[in-house]
Amino acid sequence: MLKQYKIPFRILAVALFFAAVAFGATSSRTGICLGDQVLASLGLPAWSEGDQGLHYSGAAALCVCLGAVFLYGATTQNWVRTVRGILIALLVLWIGGDMAGALFTAFL
């Protein structure tokens, strides 16, 4: 990849990642998922079987997040190591957040 395109593609990858997280995440304060609201405004269901099954907003957000990680990795010299490092970091943050939340609710 040409050096002049690396920075714009990295910025695009980070923006896509955060947009996908905002689209697929449910607010803990309000309990509303932005992706569900967008799908409902388009007349599409948010779930495959009523209020259970495949969550279309989450599935779309996961696909876009993975695409953003691979797009970011494509701008580096050793893209396999970069993608692996990002995915491991995200996994550690996800598990760490779940553990911190569980500890927080257990002691309050």
Walking along the chain (108 residues) 10 residues at a time, the average pLDDT comes out as 82 93 85 91 92 90 92 89 88 73 64
**pLDDT at position 57:** 92
**pLDDT at position 56:** 92
CA atoms of 62 and 97, how far apart (whole Å): 18
**pLDDT at position 99:** 67
- Residue 66 domain boundaries: 3-106
Chain-centre distance for alpha carbon 85: 16
Domain count, the chain: 1
CA atoms of 104 and 36, how far apart (whole Å): 28
Measured from the Cβ of residue 66, the count of other Cβ atoms closer than 10 Å reads: 14
Torsion angle, CA of 60/65/66/69, rounded to 10 degrees?
160
